[in-house]
Amino acid sequence: MAIQIPSRQLFIDGEWRETVLKKRIPIINPATEEIVGDIPAATAEDVEIAVDAARRAFSRNGGKDWASTSGAFRAKFLRAIASTVLERKSELALLELVDTGKPLVETASDMDGVASCFNYYAELAEALDAKQKAPISIPVQSFKSYVLKEPIGVIALITPWNYPLLMAAWKIAPALAAGCTAILKPSELASVTCLELAEICRQVDIPPGVLNIVTGLGSEAGAPLASHPHVDKIAFTGSTATGIKVMTAAAQTVKPISLELGGKSPIIVFEDGDLNNAAEWTIYSCFKTNGQICSATSRLIVHESIAADFLVKLIDWSKNIKISDPLEDGCRLGAIISKGQYEKVMNFISTAKNEGATILYGGGHPQHLRKGFFIEPTIITDVSTSMQIWREEVFGPVLCVKTFSTEHEAIALANDTDYGLGAAVISKDLERCERLTKALQAGTVWINCSQPCFDQTAWGGNKRSGIGRELGEWGLDSYLSIKQVTHYISNEPWGWYSPPQSSEELERSQKQN
280 is catalytic: no
In sequence order, what are the residues at sequence separation of 6 or more whose Cβ sits closer than 8 angstroms to the Cβ of residue 498?
Answer: none
Strands, sheet with 358-361, edge to edge from the N-terminal-most edge strand: 358-361, 378-381, 398-404, 299-303, 266-269, 422-426, 444-447
Count other C-beta atoms under 10 Å from residue 76's C-beta: 16
Amino acid at 503: S
Q: Which residues contact 115 (CB under 8 A, 6 or more apart)?
A: 82, 83, 85, 86, 89
Give the span between the Cα atoms of 376 and 370, in whole angstroms: 13
Please state, as a whole number, how many other Cβ atoms lie within 10 Å of the Cβ of residue 56: 16
Q: Which residues contact 253 (CB under 8 A, 6 or more apart)?
A: 229
**Strands 466-467 and 257-260, how do they pair?**
antiparallel
Catalytic pick among 96, 126, 260, 470:
260
- Pairing, β 233-237 against β 154-158: parallel
Give 290's DSSP letter: G
The residues that bridge with 359 in the sheet, in sequence order, are 380
Distance of CA 39 to the CA centre of its chain: 22
Active site positions, annotated: 260
